[in-house]
Amino acid sequence: MNQTKNKSQFTELTPIEFLDGMHDDKHIIMFDENPTYSKKIQFHFLNNGLEKGEHAIYAMPKDKDVIEKEMKGYGIDVEKYQKENLLDVYNTEKINQYLQGDSFDNLLRIIMPSDPAKICRIVGMLNFDMNTQEGMDVFLKSEKKSHSVFESFSGSWMCSYPTTNIEPENRLNWIRKLLKNHDSVIFTSSHNEGIAFDVLH
């Protein structure tokens, strides 16, 4: 695992510039205000890894066939990478239909590679009710857990969530708490390319 994982610099870039300049393993959170552009960023992040021979995992609450069609539209050779066992796509809405217990633990059980040394890129989002205090408490607990797991993980992980879904009364406070459990942050915007930078802890 890259030993410089916790070293960060405050350099503000566009999301694509940031991803293209990545050299260290990073746990990234993306606050999404532009779903179309955010999806492009997610796929760009995965494709950068696939082109290096890294294992790409996309786990979102959406139909698998729809996701794969969107990936092809972006230019990812889905069939090629799946045949090479380098690309897995999961619908996280279905994971908890078949598994009981903690949502995040169920996700890890499905997506984590059996070989801890295998370098991966993961884009993931669980289907939390983030509009309430209770839902955000559960969400923050899962993100803390994911950050602790990340320290023993080889690769990079992007969590992606719509900003408008976050409980509005304490939204800024929630965002500050989430930043403490990530190495880097991406903010997408409806009127520009957005920004990305490493978080100073």
Single pTM value for the model: 0.83
Sign of the four-CA dihedral 128, 169, 38, 19 = negative
Into which CATH architecture does domain 15-198 fall? 3-Layer(aba) Sandwich (3.40)
Segment 33-49, tens digit of pLDDT: 898 999 999 999 999 99
Amino acid present at 59: A
Give the C-alpha separation, 179 to 137, whole Å. 15
Closest CA to 177 of 134, 135, 140: 140
When comparing pLDDT for 129 and 15, which is higher?
15
One-character DSSP codes across 87-103? EEEEEHHHHHHH--S-H
Segment 88-101, tens digit of pLDDT: 998 887 765 554 55
pLDDT at 100: 54
User: In the chain, where do the E strands start and end?
Assistant: 27-32, 55-60, 87-91, 120-124, 155-162, 184-187, 195-198
Residue 90 CA neighbour count, 13 Å, CB half: 24
Give the C-alpha separation, 33 to 161, whole Å. 9
How many residues can be counted in the chain? 201
Q: Angle at Cα 41 formed by Cα 148 and Cα 93, nearest 5°?
A: 60
Give the C-alpha separation, 32 to 22, whole Å. 20
Segment 161-197, tens digit of pLDDT: 888 777 777 788 888 888 988 999 999 988 888 999 9
Segment 60-107, tens digit of pLDDT: 888 999 999 999 999 999 999 999 999 999 888 776 555 455 666 666
pLDDT at 81: 97
pLDDT at 8: 43
pLDDT at 102: 61
pLDDT at 4: 42
Domain boundaries, the chain: 15-198
Segment 7-33, tens digit of pLDDT: 445 567 999 999 999 988 999 999 988
